[in-house]
Structure 1
Amino acid sequence: MQFVQGQHVSECGRASAGVNPIHANMETDMKDLERLVYGFGDTPHGRIVVARSESGIRAVLFGADNAALAEDLAARFPDADLVPAGMGMDRAIAQVVDVMLGEAPVGELVLDLKGTAFQLAVWDALRAIQPGDTASYAEVAAAIGKPGAVRAVAAACAANPVAVIVPCHRVVRSDGSLSGYRWGVERKRALLAWETAA
């Protein structure tokens, strides 16, 4: 496992050196619906939906088709005003796909992640795992200063809303075997193989 050099995002959301900027927020009770604009696209690893707020990309999800993706997005963000953008999301989707293909640096994407302080710390640590490398859940827990929180790290990985860009697929068991992946173990295997071959 190789983490990039630099500080991890703190609870206030400071970005790691060498990693894309992130607008991180603690979860709060939202009385007003937040507007998230979304659109669909294709990648070598399947169909995706990309959703963004005014501050940055909030979600990248894999799914079988547009209907399944829209349903997953609505389930993940029940308190958001979800607005289909049509071609208005083309540039953002193209950027996400280029990053997935290794044709653009991840630093070109601005993320707007929301979660608990622990989740944000885990997601930031994941972004420090370089393509072609993997880390165990125990190594991620140690990297954020919580060596006893291995199961909580796994839960934070499962809650990750930004596939590939926040690379939870690069986290494996301590023996190197693949564990569960929200979008399927076979997709996880394919993503790792793709990155290793790149």
Structure 2
Amino acid sequence: MSNTIDSARIETPVGPFTILAGPDGAVRAAGFTADPANLLPVMHPSLRGEPRTRPDLGPVTAAVAAYLDGDLAAIDDVPVEQHSGGAFLSHAWQVLRDVKPGEPITYTAYAGLAGRPAAVRAAAAACARNAAALFVPCHRVLRTDGTLGGYRWGLPVKCWLLDHERPGRD
């Protein structure tokens, strides 16, 4: 790891949220953990670097704070940089960024939106391999029966995020 990447931690109602960003400010990884080292294995090797702790990451941190304060669209325009080694995953992650807060979809619907309606397992794999939690909102994808399914950062976190985004929650 020869590159340096910036790391910042934000306290949330469901625990610490850590963000790793490249020199251009694009989010390379994010997740509900206090330790940036927990994010490095989920990142593509070409994007990894030595985390350098910062008090905040400027507009990225501001966007997360605004999201937590109820501006659910605040994270939509935060740049994200992920590499998958495959065209489908990259496309699927971009499609996922268009899933609106408060409007979760099923893995089947997600596969359809990504252009491969029969590839439900590939859609689930895109969620599982997503390194930029929250910014690429894999928490908004549910099983066909409406149950939560899995989430790298735990089902209580996924449940909180979905509840936070639910219309009329206040």
Identity percentage of aligned residues: 33
Give the paired residue count. 163
In structure 2, stretches of 5+ residues that fail to align are none
RMSD, matched Cα? 2.1
The 8 Å contact of residues 27 and 81 in structure 2, kept in 1 or not, is answered as: yes
Asked if structure 1 preserves the Cα contact closer than 8 Å seen for 2:29 and 2:42, the reply is no
Deviation at 1:107, TM superposition (A): 4.1
Deviation of the 1:155 alpha carbon: 1.0
Give the secondary structure class of the aligned counterpart of 1:49: strand
**CA deviations over 1:129-177 (Å, ceiling 9, x no partner):** 1111111111111112111110111111011111122111110011111
- Distance apart, 1:38 and its partner CA: 1.1
Residues 15-26 of structure 1: pairs in structure 2 closer than 5 A:
none
Give the TM-score of the pair, scaled to structure 1: 0.73
- Name 1:51's counterpart in structure 2: 20
> 1:73: how far off?
2.1
> Which of residues 71, 78, 83 is equivalent to 2:51?
83
Instruction: Output the amino acid matched with 2:102.
Output: G
Name 1:142's counterpart in structure 2: 112
8 Å CA contact 2:7–2:51 kept in 1: the answer is: yes
Indicate conservation of the 8 Å contact 1:58/1:112, yes or no.
yes
**TM-score, length-normalised on structure 2?**
0.84
- Give the superposition deviation at 1:91: 4.9
For the residue of structure 1 that corresponds to 2:158, the secondary structure is: helix
Offset, 1:49: 1.0
Structure 1 distance, partners of 2:115, 2:59, is 37
Query: Contact 2:21–2:27 (CA<8 Å) still a contact in 1?
Result: yes
Q: Give the distance between the partners of 1:181 and 1:153, measured in 2 at CA.
A: 14
User: Which of 44, 58, 74 is the equivalent residue of 2:40?
Assistant: 74
* Contact 1:141-1:150 within 8 A present in 2 as well: yes
- Bigger relative contact order, structure 1 or 2 (CA pairs below 8 A, ≥6 apart): 1
Partner of 1:167: 137
Asked if the contact 2:107/2:123 (under 8 Å) is kept, the reply is yes
> Residues 155 and 101 (structure 1 numbering): CA distance in 2 closer, same or farther, change over 3 Å?
farther
Q: What CA distance in whole angstroms lies between the structure 1 residues aligned with 2:159 and 2:137?
A: 13
SS in 1 for 2:7: strand
